[in-house]
Amino acid sequence: MIIESKEKKILNDALGELRKNTGLVVEVIDFEVKVLDKAMGEYYQDAIVKIQWNDLEYHFVVEIKNTVTRAILGVAIHQLNRMKLKEKGMLVAKYINPKIADELKKNDVPFIDTVGNAYINEPPLFIYLKGNRPEIIDQPARTFRPTGLQIIFALLCNRGLENKPYRDIAKKVDVALGTVGEIMDDLKKTGYLIDTGVRRRRLIRKNDLLNKWVTAYPEQLRQKKMIGHYEADNRDWWKNTNLKEVDALWGGEIAANIMTEHLKPQIITVYAKRPITKFLLKNKLIENENGDTEILEIFWKFGQDRLHNNLVPPLLIYTDLMATGDTRNIETARIIYEKKLSKYFRED
């Protein structure tokens, strides 16, 4: 993993704000810390920092993010909780809003950001600062906007797809051929794709790319694919529905329940192809913005022949769960990651 200069700047700026606001002695001990994990294999954490207060020293393994919204809160907590080092994990971000600050505090996740917000609870040291706001919040790069996310999803779900002609990739994603070329060029520039000749491309830093996709998907693509929220008189309507009769698949908590038998679903998530009128009528679903059923549009054209029990790809189940920020869903997402995804995202 290569720590980009932007990430180093976020870390240095956040540490600078912590120094200024608290008078603590803080410093970076090391960048790009190698970690060995049974489930993930070898991977890297962004850095280790030391905080000194009086005669006490605290060491934290750092995970650097740009911003953290509720939609990606689960991702951050999962990444920090999976650390197997003796040091506690710390989230460092460009900006953490007050609601997310409260959630992180509730989960006892230390954090600092570049505008002076912070939470550290290492008795006798306690810091909790929130409410500072940035002047401008950056927009995501083109690669992590809707069309780019669709292409990355296909690459992550189909091993070796990066070696196929761009025309084949475009068909699997249903995007313009020229767009595929632009996103592939961006992936090369950002160090996620190596090109050694004709059809000799290799996706690298896959775990980091996965994390960025999971982080960006909920706000950049998922909301755009949301058809609507619905409710039915029968809360368990989904148990008697045969999705094989329609172009639809289970996602989110329902898919997780079917896959792991570990989670009691509260929200019913369906990915479907338009139109959905017959589906709504058959299952007596009525539109309600507060309903417990959400229907999203399928945004990929691959893997239907490989899916079991009418489920979306495991990566999307994992992402849907993480996007909720719900502790029980994060735990189930961890199980799915270890059983279904980790072997594909170990660094080669």
The string of DSSP codes covering 204-221 is -SHHHHHHHHHHHHIIII
Percent helix, percent strand, percent coil in the chain, to nearest 5: 45, 25, 30
Give the residue from 90, 105, 92 showing the smallest Cα distance to 17: 92
- Is 134 strand, coil or helix? coil
> In this structure, are residues 152 and 205 in contact, taking their beta carbons and an 8 Å threshold?
no
Neighbours of 122 (CB within 10 A): 14
- Angle, CA 221 vertex, CA 218 and CA 225 arms, to 5°: 105
Give pTM, 2 decimals. 0.69
Band (pLDDT 50/70/90 cuts) for residue 3 is very low
Query: Is the confidence at residue 1, as pLDDT, over 50?
Result: no
Provide the β-strand partners of residue 92.
Answer: 64, 112
pLDDT given at position 2: 43
User: Do the bridges between strand 125-129 and strand 118-122 make them parallel or antiparallel, or are there none, so unpaired?
Assistant: antiparallel
Query: Is the confidence at residue 176, as pLDDT, over 60?
Result: yes
Token representation of residue 340: 């279904």
Domain 5-129, CATH number (from 3.40.1350, 3.40.50, 3.30.70, 1.10.10): 3.40.1350
pLDDT given at position 88: 84
Q: Of residues 47 and 83, which shows the higher confidence score?
A: 47
**What is the domain class of 142-204 according to CATH?**
mainly alpha
Least confident of 28-42, 66-80, 321-335: 28-42
- State the Cα–Cα distance between residues 83 and 61, nearest whole angstrom: 8
Give the residue from 175, 181, 178, 135 showing the smallest Cα distance to 162: 181
Amino acid identity of residue 219, one-letter, is E
pLDDT, one tens digit per residue, over 162-175 is 999 999 999 999 89
- Is 244 strand, coil or helix? helix
- State the Cα–Cα distance between residues 218 and 250, nearest whole angstrom: 17
Mean pLDDT of the residues in the chain: 86
Token representation of residue 137: 């919040």
- State the Cα–Cα distance between residues 257 and 318, nearest whole angstrom: 12
Token representation of residue 271: 């990915």
The predicted model gives 126-153 an average pLDDT of: 85
Query: Is the confidence at residue 46, as pLDDT, over 70?
Result: yes
Least confident of 136-145, 174-183, 291-300: 136-145
Q: Of residues 179 and 242, which shows the higher confidence score?
A: 179
Query: Is the confidence at residue 71, as pLDDT, over 80?
Result: no
Q: Where is 26: in which H helix or E strand? A: strand 25-37
Provide the β-strand partners of residue 129.
Answer: 118
Neighbours of 13 (CB within 10 A): 16
Domain ranges of the chain: 5-129, 142-204, 221-345
Burial class (CB in 10 A: 0-12, 13-18, 19+), 184: buried
The predicted model gives 269-290 an average pLDDT of: 94
- State the Cα–Cα distance between residues 346 and 25, nearest whole angstrom: 36
Token representation of residue 90: 């710390």
Give the residue from 206, 216, 212 showing the smallest Cα distance to 43: 206
Neighbours of 10 (CB within 10 A): 23
The predicted model gives 103-117 an average pLDDT of: 92
> In this structure, are residues 267 and 292 in contact, taking their beta carbons and an 8 Å threshold?
yes
CATH architecture of 221-345: 2-Layer Sandwich (3.30)
Instruction: Tell me: cis bond preceding 110? Omega within 30 of 0 counts.
Output: no
The predicted model gives 93-107 an average pLDDT of: 89
Amino acid identity of residue 261, one-letter, is E
Neighbours of 245 (CB within 10 A): 10
